Amino acid sequence: MSRIHFKEIIISLALIMILNAVFLPYTMPAAELKAASIEKEDIYTGLGLMFLLVVLSGDGDNKNDGVRKDDYHSYKNFSAEEIEILASIINAEARGESYKGKVAVGAVIINRVYHPSFPNSIREVVYQSGQFTPVENGMINYSPDSDSFKAAYDAVSGLDPSKGSLYFYNPAKSKNPSFFADREKVVTIGNHVFLK
């Protein structure tokens, strides 16, 4: 059972206890109530224990280990094959760029995976026709370096220097500058301009 469901159950039980303590005296005759009642001290003890359980069940997963732990972004949402594809496209597109630039390129791919206008897997986004030059010229087939793998893991874990961008391009090498001219510029990192 997940921690969230555990907390909801405890809070529900506490509310039931409070409602019984407040409304039971008004709904039952005094003689029946005395025989079936719970003392106030018992209610306070029960509420205190429930509060303690809620606090102790806290967010044990929220350790700062460099990986975001939420349902939306997680390396666990992707297979090893997809991480390798992401590392390969990062290696091919951001070779010679800073580490931040590599993560930003990876983040654009991940942003597309979660955006309704694009396919919903890394493989489909990367290999979508006409999107990435390294797919067309075969550079994606070069083995990615360790920085590209690290950048891929950071990108799938939610690190996004591109600030939510869905596109990037190098103005010095772009084959289609007019397509990018109509888009909102978000940030420039190294030789790449990132856009929405």
Q: Where are the domains of the chain?
A: 3-57, 75-195
Question: 170: helix, coil or strand?
Answer: coil
Q: Kindly give, in sequence order, each residue whose CB lies less than 8 Å from that of residue 190, ignoring residues fewer than 6 positions away.
A: 94, 97, 98, 100, 101
d(CA 128, CA 126): 6
Q: Is the pLDDT of residue 73 over 80?
A: no
Q: Which helix (H) or strand (E) holds 136?
A: helix 133-137
d(CA 150, CA 106): 10
- 193, β-bridge pairs: 169, 188
Question: 116: helix, coil or strand?
Answer: coil
Q: Average pLDDT in the 133-153 region?
A: 94
Q: Which residue's structure tokens are 């390396």?
A: 75
Q: Average pLDDT in the 52-62 region?
A: 57
What is the band of 176 on the pLDDT scale with cuts at 50, 70, 90?
confident
Q: Which residue's structure tokens are 């580490």?
A: 99
Position 4 scores a pLDDT of 54
Regarding predicted confidence, which is higher, 184 or 11? 184
Nearest one of 174, 171, 150, 154 to 162, comparing CA atoms: 154
The DSSP line for 20-66 is HHHHHHHHS-HHHHHHH---HHHHHHHHHHHHHHHHHHTTTT---SS
Q: Is the pLDDT of residue 57 over 80?
A: no
Q: Mean pLDDT, the chain, as a whole number?
A: 80
Q: What is the CATH number of domain 75-195?
A: 1.10.10.2520
Helix, strand, coil share (%) of the chain residues, nearest 5: 55, 5, 35
- The answer to which of 11-25, 54-68, 88-102, 112-126 has the lowest mean pLDDT is 54-68
Q: Average pLDDT in the 161-183 region?
A: 87
What is the band of 78 on the pLDDT scale with cuts at 50, 70, 90?
confident
Regarding predicted confidence, which is higher, 74 or 159? 159
